[in-house]
Chain A
Amino acid sequence: MSTGTEENALSGGADSIRDEAPPAEPAATSRWAAVQPWLSLIVRVALAGILGYAGYTKVIVPALSVESVAAYELFGETLNQLIGYTLPLFELALALLLLAGLATRVTGIISALLMAVFIAGIASAWARGLTIDCGCFGTGGVVDADETTYALDIARDLGFMALGLFLAIWPRSRYSLDGALGLYSSSDEER
């Protein structure tokens, strides 16, 4: 993706023409400027895939999604039901936005916050000595004590959180609705 043919693709946005060309920059910066939109595209698609998969595996069996939430023993049955039903849908919606590249920065921030909430939930289950599956991808509930994978789950969610933060910092990406709408064009990416 870092082919030399992108030298002029400082902006994936439609208004790149309207913006005055930025003054010549040091080679390293322009190289990054060329690569970054592609990197952000990859991150977008990856995070969309992760959230989409997580949402899909839960939404097909809502009852088990509710059960996964209940296993955390944090809320009452009514709230468990609500979360169990809507959380997978929320994940799917975020995946959709990421795939389309709409409001990428905000979506990235929300995704990262969501991961922070998940991490807090897993940590609290761990701290309270529960033996549960995190229910991150479909199957949740109580498992044997030697089958818990809290540290791994948290590490993984930290990774996903990093993807969200990446998009929060570098929202400009290739093939995005944002780009088509002239958002995050190069002129306001003065970082």
Chain B
Amino acid sequence: MSKESRRTNRERLRQERIKQKKRAKRNRLLATIGAAVAVIALVVGGGYLIVQASNGTSAEEYTGTLAPQTLQEDGSVVMALDGVAAPVVEVYADYQCSHCARFEMINGDTLKELAAQGEAIVHYRPVSIFADAGDPAGANSLRAAAAARAAAEHGKFVEYSDILFDNQPSTRQQGYAVDDLIAWGEEVGITDPAFAERVRSESEIVEEFVTNYYPELSTKARAEIPEDQLRTMRLNDLIEWGEDNGVDSSFMDGSHVRSVLDATAAVNAKYSEGANAFGGTPSIYINGTLLGNETYSATDFREAVLAAPPGQVDTRPAAEEDTDATPSEPPSPSPPA
């Protein structure tokens, strides 16, 4: 064999080795990418199953009888078996707030069930944190909250509230139209024409609030109140300031709109600081303690309620006739939670 051919042979071998090395490298790279893809699939797929199972997208639907609903002096509603000893679950929600709709979707039925079983006293306290957001969000929020209060006067708050959340509009879209609000009342069995009338008159007040009153108030306030002071003022402070400065709010007197705004001011005052400070909706308090992430977990929420001791409702029932609270079976002996 010639020197020449030995050299080409060696050269070929060398080329072969390089090729092999390259192939090995490519295989390693592909294997690595494959492993990475497997890790992603495992984490995402496995995690999805775990999250689904442990959190539950929503509680099981509750179709049983509701515990009696009692309208309170401040327009809020207590849903509980008569005389039951159970933890008080306060639900502060705004009908325009999407997190609130999410909470209702996840835990609304759990609340109904726990109340019906005598495991919870549910205190629904609709507020409006969107009131000063103008049209459409502010108007939507106020119209819905006022209509819910009207429904509460006819003993159908919980049923009506469900429909409102199911039909929540986007914050940029006009929703909760007067005709719809009235039709939903019929849907939950409110036949009294007084309801439709009330919804209409409340909606007019909302209209006035959003288009005339609040813009005027806010313009005047911005012109006359130093900015750093203005920033610390809540809507109710502004309204009060307006009273003394020529922005008359008497058009709201006696309306549900006013009572919604009062309720919003009240929760800010009641839970003004510390870990339990009211910071927006939805805020769920169990015996006065603000819930955290449990709010959005079907399982954790139920556990939090069941673990709490009995509590006291801090409002009194409205003086008028006691809604249509059908006397239910005597409260089950409340088990020590």
Cβ B57 vs Cβ A94 within 8 A: no
Q: Size range of the interface on A? A: 35 or more
- Residue A158 interfacial (CB < 8 Å): no
- Residue B293 interfacial (CB < 8 Å): yes
Report A-chain residues with C-beta under 8 Å of the C-beta of B28: 181-183
Contact indicator per residue, chain B 105-123, by CB within 8 Å of chain A (1) or not (0): 0100000000000000000
Report A-chain residues with C-beta under 8 Å of the C-beta of B51: 59, 62, 85, 89
- Residue B215 interfacial (CB < 8 Å): no
The interface stretch among B1-9, B38-46, B180-188, B206-214 is B38-46
Report A-chain residues with C-beta under 8 Å of the C-beta of B255: none
Cβ B36 vs Cβ A97 within 8 A: yes
Report B-chain residues with C-beta under 8 Å of the C-beta of A66: 102
Cβ B35 vs Cβ A103 within 8 A: yes
Cβ A93 vs Cβ B40 within 8 A: yes
Partner of A93, one of B44, B102, B137, B297: B44
- Residue B62 interfacial (CB < 8 Å): no
Report the Cα distance A89→B43, complex, angstroms.
6
Partner of B293, one of A61, A70, A102, A181: A61
Contact indicator per residue, chain B 281-295, by CB within 8 Å of chain A (1) or not (0): 000000000000100
Min distance, Cβ B122 to any Cβ of chain A, angstroms = 20
Report the Cα distance A140→B35, complex, angstroms.
33
Min distance, Cβ A26 to any Cβ of chain B, angstroms = 26
Closest 6 CB pairs of A and B: A103-B36, A63-B296, A93-B43, A89-B47, A93-B40, A89-B44
Residues of A within 8 A of B (CB): 59-64, 66-67, 70-71, 73, 81, 85-86, 89-90, 92-94, 96-97, 102-103, 106-107, 129-131, 141-142, 144, 177-178, 181-183, 188
Residues of B within 8 A of A (CB): 25, 28-29, 31-33, 35-36, 39-40, 42-44, 47-48, 51-52, 55, 57, 98-99, 102-103, 106, 133, 137, 170-172, 293, 296-297
Q: A63-B297, A89-B44, A183-B32 are in contact. List 11 more A-B contacts (CB 8 A).
A: A61-B296, A63-B57, A63-B296, A93-B40, A93-B43, A96-B43, A103-B33, A103-B35, A129-B172, A131-B171, A178-B32
